[in-house]
Structure 1
Amino acid sequence: MNRWGNMNTLRNQIFIGFMLIMVMVLTSVGLYAYDKVAAMLRNNAEKHIQQTAVQASGQLDVLLRGIDTLTAQIATSASVQTMLTRMLDGDEITFPERQLLQQDVRKQEAYGTGIRSLELYTTDYQRVLPLTNVSLINRVRPDWIFKADLARGDIVFLGMDPDFPDVVIAMRHVRLIDRSFAHAGYLMVQIDKSYFGLTDAAANASADINLRESLGLLDEQGRIIVSDFQDEQNIAARIGENSDETLTLNDDEYFVVERLSERTGWKIIILTPVASVMEGITVLRTAIIVSVMVGGVLFLILTFILSTMITRPILNLIKAMRGARFGTLKPIPIQTATMEINELGNTYNQMVISLNELIEVVYQKEIIQSRTELKALQAQINPHFLFNTLEAFYWALDEKGDEELAHIVVAMSGLFRYVISRPDEDEWVTVGDEMDHAERYLKIMEMRMLDRLSWRIDADEASRKVPIPKLLVQPLVENAILHGVEQRVGHGTVIVKVKPSEKPGYTRIEVSDDGPGMSDEKLKTLLEALERGQSESEKGKGVGLANVEKRLHLYYDSDTGLIIRSEAGKGTTMAFEIPDELERRT
Structure 2
Amino acid sequence: MIIVLASVGIFTYDRVSLLLRNSAERHIQQTAVQATGKLEALLRQIDTIAAQVATNDSVQRLLMQELDGRRASFGERQSLQQISRNYQAYATGIRSLELYTTDYRRMFPLDDVSLNSRIPDEWISKADREMGGLVWLGLDPTDPDVVIAIRRVRLIDRSFSHGGYLTVRIERSYFELTDSLTEGDGSREAMVLLDEAGHTIASDFPPAAGVEAHLASGDDEVAIGGDSYKAIRQQSATTGWTLAILTPVDYSTEGIAVLRTAIVLAGSIGCLLFLIFTFILSTMITRPILNLMKAMRGARLGSLKPNESTSSTMEINELNHTYNQMVAYLNELIEVVYQKEIIQSRTELKALQAQINPHFLFNTLEAFYWELEEKGEDELARIVVAMSGLFRYVISRPDEDEWVTIRDELDHAERYLQIMEMRMVDRLSWEINVDAASQGVPIPKLLVQPLVENAILHGIEQRTGPGKVLLSIEASKQPGYTAVWVSDDGPGMDEASVLALREALAEGRSLSSKGTGVGLLNVQSRLKLYYGSFTNGLDIRITEGEGASFGFEIPNEHGGTIQREDDLDRGR
Bin for the TM-score computed over the shorter chain = 0.3 to 0.5
TM-score scaled by structure 2? Answer: 0.44
Q: Decide which structure has the larger Cα Rg and report it.
A: 1
